[in-house]
Amino acid sequence: MARVYFLLGGNLDDRERILSEAISKMKLEIGELVDCSSIYETEPWGFEHELNFLNQVIVIETELEAKEILDVTQQIEKDLGRVRKKDQYSERTIDIDILFYGDQIISTDRLVVPHPKVQERLFALIPMLDVAPELIHPIEMKSIRELHAVCPDKMEVKKFKH
């Protein structure tokens, strides 16, 4: 069994409903939901858009391999109306990122875990503080709490719903 930390986010359509639907589908197809953070609201990161994002971290215990999880999450994104654009940063109904897969370090053409920018983004670190403040980043060798303390990102992350 692996403990996997996911960051969910979206800024289009009914944001709360889509987060909830994504979590329901992930519980059915990936594994047991162990924990989830509060929901946070942030401005878009890396691009401009009038609609803010809702973000949430969830923790699932699974027997699936990371590449299998990637296939499942990309299908869930598609099912929930995600349209992939050429631009890496754009508006979307849902984005599901694998932040951590246990303490594994994975680097393939399709998947890099831990997520390569988790330590640079408050919208990922703040919800991670809710569920795993002492988790050690296997490359940075610092806890989530330590990474948060030195994060260069200054974007406001507001609690939306507990």
- Asked if 106 and 138 touch (Cβ cutoff 8 Å), the reply is no
Total-model pTM: 0.94
**31 bridge partner residues:** 62
- pLDDT tens per residue, range 87-98: 555 678 899 999
* Tens of pLDDT, residues 126-140: 999 999 999 999 999
Give the whole-angstrom CA distance, residue 44 versus residue 28.
Answer: 29
Residue corresponding to tokens 């508006």: 91
Multiple choice CATH, 2-161, 3.50.50.60, 1.20.1250.30, 3.30.70.560, 3.40.367.20:
3.30.70.560
Bridge-based pairing state of the strands 157-161 and 53-62: unpaired
Q: What does the pLDDT look like over 42-87, one tens digit per residue? A: 988 765 777 899 999 999 999 999 999 999 999 999 999 877 665 5
Q: Where are the domains of the chain?
A: 2-161
